[in-house]
Amino acid sequence: MILVGRYLSPFVRRVGVSLALTGLKFERLVLSTAADREKILKITPIGRVPALILGKGRNAEVLVDSTAMLDHIDEKAGRRALTPGKGAARRRVNSIVFLALGTAEKAIAAAYEKSRRPPEKVHQPWLEHLESQATGGLEALNAIKAKPYLAGAKLTQADVTTAVVFGYLKRGAPHLVPEGRYKRLEAHSKKMEKLPAFKACQPEQP
């Protein structure tokens, strides 16, 4: 398996951390969407990361979208899967995962609004709308009391995605997560970042 993309992306990092936690072997192809666009387009038609290449040569398959990759990883991991297979436990984990993912998507859209448009084309009310949606997600995530993990007794994908997204915002959009505002998320993130799997997937220098 080859994971394409940099750990600066929360979508790439959650896949890398999940592979490390489940003990599945993988290689990396560290390509940047800014500098290596042509190379990425040869692997995946939308030009986004992550991509996950399964197999080799003519039998190679490419998965796009981190959610599809995590689905494959869970299938391969068997009893070490990070999302429960069914029922209320699965819904609970997924509801937290998609809250964290939605938060990341809105924060990224807000960041693109500022970085990808000429300043005179930034529509301030839309930017504020996007940031308020990200803040709504953060408040809901911060309201969850870990017991000791976000979805209960076991570490799950809810913990991985939430901590990866929070770390991403701390680095990329610190104004959305000022020190002390999201105390539970800060504690959760600190605990997760100490795990060897998180340490093994450190975001590269921009």
How near is the Cβ of 33 to ligand GSH at its closest, in Å?
4
Distance CA 100, CA 158 (A): 8
Does 102 help bind ligand GSH (rule: CB under 6 A)? no
DSSP annotation of 205: P
Distance CA 87, CA 30 (A): 37
Please choose, out of 44-52, 55-63, 91-99, 130-138, the segment that lies near ligand GSH by the rule CB under 6 A: 44-52
How near is the Cβ of 96 to ligand GSH at its closest, in Å?
16
Q: Which CB sits closer to ligand GSH, 45 or 148?
A: 45
Does 47 help bind ligand GSH (rule: CB under 6 A)? yes
Determine which residue in the list 21, 49, 151, 155 makes contact with ligand GSH, applying CB under 6 A: 49
How near is the Cβ of 187 to ligand GSH at its closest, in Å?
25
Taking a C-beta distance cutoff of 8 angstroms, is the pair 188, 158 a contact?
A: no
Distance CA 164, CA 167 (A): 5
Tokens 């592979």, residue?
19
Distance CA 190, CA 186 (A): 6
Please choose, out of 47-55, 83-91, 126-134, 192-200, the segment that lies near ligand GSH by the rule CB under 6 A: 47-55
State whether the Cα torsion 130-132-135-136 is positive or negative: negative
Strand 27-29 versus strand 2-4 pairing type: parallel
Site string for ligand GSH, 51-70 (x = CB under 6 A): --------------xxx---
Nearest to 132 by CA among 106, 156, 114: 106
Q: Which CB sits closer to ligand GSH, 146 or 173?
A: 173
Does 32 help bind ligand GSH (rule: CB under 6 A)? no
Residues that bind ligand GSH (CB under 6 A): 9, 11, 33, 47-50, 65-67
